[in-house]
Amino acid sequence: MLRILLVEDNPADAQMLQTSLVETGIPVEITRMEDGEKAIGYLASDDRTAASPCCDIVLLDLNLPRVGGYEVLEYIRGRKELKRLPVIIMSGSWDTDEIDRCYQAGANSYICKPIQLEEILSTAASLLTYWSNCVKLPSRRLIPRPLAAAQSK
């Protein structure tokens, strides 16, 4: 099961995306945070460690209340235990400078939010197929084994 942290403040966008992701038939568990401050709080929760991350990927909107998407991305890339967590930006902006800025900050993908329902369904299906079937995600146990133990096996 692919565990997704969806950081989206617009309830309609969040609902459409969540419904589209579930309708793909690919098993997903979606946790939604409606602002960047709550997303960082969730990611920083005391019971989260590199050995048990909260999610497999983050779908992150840029224009968020309280703490923006760029700051959430910077927080993730600045934390040792979250550094390998794939972050997919989903934004309504087609601005090339903004897209470049996201990749410079460490985004793994940038998706311009589709408008039409058919495009939303198609994007959700492509996104889940890619991240659940095509990509080998970082291990949920990100702490490497000691070298001696690894060599003895």
Sign, Cα dihedral of 122, 125, 128, 130: negative
In this predicted structure, what is the pLDDT of residue 35?
A: 97
The CATH number of the structural domain formed by 2-152 is 3.40.50.2300
**Cβ distance 90 to 127 under 8 Å?**
no
- Return the amino acid letter for 14: A
Domain ranges of the chain: 2-152
Put residue 49 in one of left, alpha, beta given phi > 0 → left and psi -120 to 50 → alpha: beta
> How does residue 79 score in pLDDT terms, banded at 50, 70 and 90?
very high
pLDDT at 145 over 50: no
Average of per-residue pLDDT values in the chain: 86
Read off the pLDDT band of 47 (50, 70, 90).
low
